[in-house]
Amino acid sequence: MKILVCIKQVPDMESRFRPDASGVWYSEIDMAFRVNEYDEFAIEEAVRLKEKLGGEPELTVLSLGPDRVVEGIKKALAMGCDRGIHVQDSSSHLKDPWQVASAIAACARGENYDLIFTGLQSQDRGSAQVGVMLAELLDYPCATTAIGFECGQGTVTVKRELEGGLRAVVRLKTPALVTCQLGLNQPRYPTLPNIMKAKKKEIRAVPVSEMLHEEPRTVMAGFYSPPKKGSGIVLEGDVPDQVDKLIGILKDKTGLLR
């Protein structure tokens, strides 16, 4: 069995985002990058499946982006993936979801992966398109928003999270692609021995120019803070002072405190 996990590196979401020189995306200056949270659930699910099946599956992790994304690939290797593919692209932030999916599809085509895991969406772009488009390009059945996953003989069963707490259970024939929602599992922290072992695992580098021949279908035209709607009060400063001010406001405005 061959499994592919596609991951992306994103900035820490607590960062202060500023436009870059082109004004269409964020500046990476002083940004700390980490593996996209949804993708950590994808890695974990793939590693658990490998463990459950007695280590037989061959687990490849792929990431498209500049050199920094190798750190994300190394984390996935330390979590239990067997090998990595780095699709080198120093301007990946300017590629649209269709282009990213096309480049990954070019890498995956002919490899006969039985299962592909991706995150539901990235925390930075948030388009939720790449996984589904990849499945379409490979003609794989695809289930999104997985919060439950079971592997059978030539099939997988996925519990999809819908609105209002309702779930839908669907079955897919393999090969198949599953996009992972938060809560699917508990992603592990890599242990030190596994971090050391991961250093010896292969990471193959592929220039994106060899994989991508598609023009963008969307053009990025601006990046900015949302308009401030809230006329809310902002309390800054010392905690005791903030506590007093908040109690005063609650007494004034809510009638819940006397």
Partner 1 sequence: MKALLIAECRDGKFLDYSYELFGFAAQLGADTTMLLVGKEGELPECGGTVYLADAGRYGEQNPDLHKRLVLAAVERERPDYVVLMHSSYGWDLAPRVAAGLKVAQLSEVVSVADDGFELPCCSQKMRRKAKPVGSPVVLTLQLGAFPAVKPGGVPALQRIDAEGEGKLEFLGYEPPPPKGVDLGRAEVIVSAGRGIGKKENIEAIAALARALGGEVGASRPVVDSGWIEAGHQVGTTGQTVSPKLYVACGISGAIQHLAGMKKSGFIVAVNKDKEAPIGEVADVLVVADVMQFVPALTAKLAK
Q: Which is closer to partner 1, CB of 182 or CB of 203?
A: 182
Say if residue 104 is exposed, middle or buried (CB neighbours under 10 Å; 0-12, 13-18, 19+).
buried
* Residue closer to partner 1, measured from CB, 84 or 187: 187
Residue 22 binds partner 1, judged by CB under 8 A: no
Among 91, 112, 153, 225, binds partner 1 (CB under 8 A): 225
**Which segments of 44-200 are extended strands (E)?**
58-65, 83-88, 115-119, 142-151, 155-161, 167-173, 176-180
Cα distance between residue 36 and residue 169, in whole Å: 26
29 forms part of the interface with partner 1 (CB under 8 A): no
Question: Is 195 a binder of partner 1 (CB under 8 A)?
Answer: no
232 belongs to the binding site for partner 1 (CB under 8 A): yes
Locate tokens 């599809």: which residue?
A: 105
- Closer to partner 1 by Cβ: residue 112 or 254: 254
The 125-144 site mask, x for binding partner 1 (CB under 8 A), equals xxxxx--xx--xx---xxxx
| Count of residues that bind partner 1 according to CB under 8 A | 83
Interatomic CA distance for residues 140 and 118, integer angstroms: 13
Pick out residues in 66-85 that bind partner 1 (CB under 8 A).
none
Q: At what angle do helices 37-52 and 69-79 cross, to 10 degrees?
A: 30
User: Does 153 engage in binding with partner 1 (CB under 8 A)?
Assistant: no
Tell me the closest approach of the beta carbon of residue 253 to partner 1, in angstroms. 6
Q: Binding of partner 1 at residue 30 (CB under 8 A)?
A: no
Q: How far apart are CA 99 and CA 116, in angstroms?
A: 18
The distance of Cα 104 from the centroid of its chain, to the nearest Å, equals 14
Q: Is 65 in the site for partner 1 (CB under 8 A)?
A: no
Q: What is the Cα gyration radius of the chain? A: 21
Q: Name the minimum Å distance from CB 223 to partner 1.
A: 5
- Of 131 and 190, which has the nearer Cβ to partner 1? 131
